[in-house]
Amino acid sequence: MTLRSMEELRQQAQGAQSLNIAFIGVVNGLFSTLHQLQKADSRHLAQQAGMDEGYVTRWCDAAYAFGWLELNSDDQWQLSADGDSMRPEAPGSRMATAIGSVLSAHMAERAAGLMRTGERPGEKVLAERETILPWFGLMLENNFRKTFEEKICPQVPIFAEVDARGGLAVDLGCGNGWYLRALAQRCNHLRGLGLDGFAENVRQAQEIAQQEGLSDRLHFSEGDIHAFSLPEPADLIAMNRALHHVWEKRGAIFDKLRSNLKAEGAVVIWEPAWPDDHRRLREAPLRGMAYQNLTEHVQGNHFLHPEEIASALKEAGLRPEIFPFGSDVMVVGRC
Per DSSP, the residues of 95-145 read HHHHHHHHHHHHHHHHHHHHTTT-----GGGGGSSTTTGGGHHHHHHHHHH
On the CB side of 38, how many CA atoms lie within 13 Å of its CA?
1
Contact 111, 294 (CB under 8 A): yes
DSSP 3-state of 6 = helix
Strand, helix or coil for residue 152:
helix
Q: What is the pLDDT of residue 50?
A: 98
3-50 pLDDT, tens digit each: 899 999 999 999 999 999 999 999 999 999 999 999 999 999 999 999
133, burial (CB in 10 Å: exposed 0-12, middle 13-18, buried 19+): middle
Longest dimension (CA), the chain: 69
Using alpha carbons only, how large is the chain's radius of gyration in Å?
22
Q: How far apart are CA 178 and CA 271, in angstroms?
A: 16
Residue burial 30-41, b: 16+ Cβ < 10 Å; e: rest? bbbbbbebeebe
Coil, strand or helix at 335: coil
Distance between CA 56 and CA 45 in Å, rounded?
A: 8
Q: How far apart are CA 93 and CA 79, in angstroms?
A: 14
pTM of the predicted model as reported, rounded to 2 decimal places: 0.89
Residues of the chain scoring pLDDT < 70: 1
Q: Kindly report the CA angle at 237 between 232 and 238, in degrees rounded to 5?
A: 150
Domains and CATH numbers, the chain: 6-90 (1.10.10.10), 144-278+299-334 (3.40.50.150)
